[in-house]
Structure 1
Amino acid sequence: MKPRHDTEKLALERAAIREFIRLFNSRHSVKLRLLYQHDRPDAVLQTSRGDKLGVEITHLFYDAAEAKALLGRPDGSLSGPVTLAHLIAQLNELIKRKESKKMAYDPAYPISLLIRNASPTFRLSEIWAARDHIRKPNDSFIDTWFLTRDGTPDWKLMNLDDLHTAGG
């Protein structure tokens, strides 16, 4: 039997990849489907052209206290002053950490990075306003996707590779 953490992580990743596929397919002529989940990368997809695409999935939380609380394991610790700058710093650190780990992944197919914003602290519109402070992803991943909400239950999908080229 898998430890609770592994089962929980797999469920979080599956939810993120399903939402990613749904949103991606609604906007692109080349469709994606989940082939399987595993480690390094977390998911392997297949395009409607028959190509494989790996997806490394990570979740953005404001801090460890928020992550524990949102996952149903509050430990009583409190966050300091809540600032957008802190969330952006967390996002930049996630991007940097995942890029450095990418070297250990299967190079048999291209790999995208999917960052799911699990923090309800800030909306997409607020994060978008601070886009100049978000670290531009390097070329480690073919794409860097950001899955988040904007004050509604609906998920939004942005490609962070286009972040600094988009109009403001």
Structure 2
Amino acid sequence: MTDGHNDEKLKLERAAVRDFIRLYNARHDVKLRLLYQHDRPDAVLQTSRGGKLGVEITHLFYDAAEAKALLGRPDGTVSGPVTLAHLIAQLNELVRRKESKRQAYDPAYPISLLIRNSSPTFRLTEIWAAREHIHKPNDVFVDTWFLTRDGTPDWKLVNLDDI
């Protein structure tokens, strides 16, 4: 990984965790704050009760061409027909990949998974309508959060464990 790519990854993760903390704190009595960014998990938060929570962060894109274009590095490739089923398959693959890597993380505190939907292709209402096709995360994470938009610039936070 180049330093530029690593810096970009850290910035994306910091933006995601800040949005997560803001939305989480607006709905919960126990508040969270960022202690530090880390590797495995990507962020460590502190609760208002003094505990720690690790957060593994991943970004959902429709495909590699969309990711490159949205990150300002278009390569000229074009996606095939755009379908919600493909985005759900990408989401399910992300969840399975993160589940398989969980054992390498620090077991000193619980870990949540945060998936930031970076794809503007589908809205929360469309994704939520297909929720029966979303892979329910296993118990390696205490929570699996989905950060997305629903046709506005505002981020929404959904707990995928509620599906």
TM-score by length of structure 2 reads 0.99
Structure 2: 5+ residue stretches without partners:
none
- Residues 99-118 of structure 1 correspond to what in structure 2 (within 5 A)? 99-118=99-118
Match status 1:144 vs 2:151: no
The Cα of 1:3 is off from its aligned counterpart by 1.1
How far apart, CA to CA, are the structure 2 residues paired with 1:3 and 1:100?
26
Q: Deviation above 4 Å: which 4+ runs of structure 1?
A: none
How far apart, CA to CA, are the structure 1 residues paired with 2:65 and 2:103?
30
Percentage of matched positions with identical amino acids: 84
Q: Specify the alignment match of 1:82 in structure 2.
A: 82
Q: Specify the alignment match of 1:96 in structure 2.
A: 96
Match status 1:161 vs 2:147: no
How far apart, CA to CA, are the structure 2 residues paired with 1:56 and 1:136?
17
Match status 1:30 vs 2:8: no
3-state SS of the aligned residue for 1:23?
Answer: helix
- Counterpart of 1:89, as a letter, is A
Q: Specify the alignment match of 2:68 in structure 1.
A: 68
Structure 1: 5+ residue stretches without partners:
164-168
Q: Specify the alignment match of 1:128 in structure 2.
A: 128
3-state SS of the aligned residue for 2:108?
Answer: coil
TM-score by length of structure 1 reads 0.96
How far apart, CA to CA, are the structure 2 residues paired with 1:103 and 1:71?
30
The Cα of 1:51 is off from its aligned counterpart by 0.2
**What do residues 32-55 of structure 1 show as CA deviations (whole Å, max 9, x unaligned)?**
000000100000000000000000
Measured on the aligned residues, the alpha-carbon RMSD in Å equals 0.6
Q: Specify the alignment match of 1:19 in structure 2.
A: 19
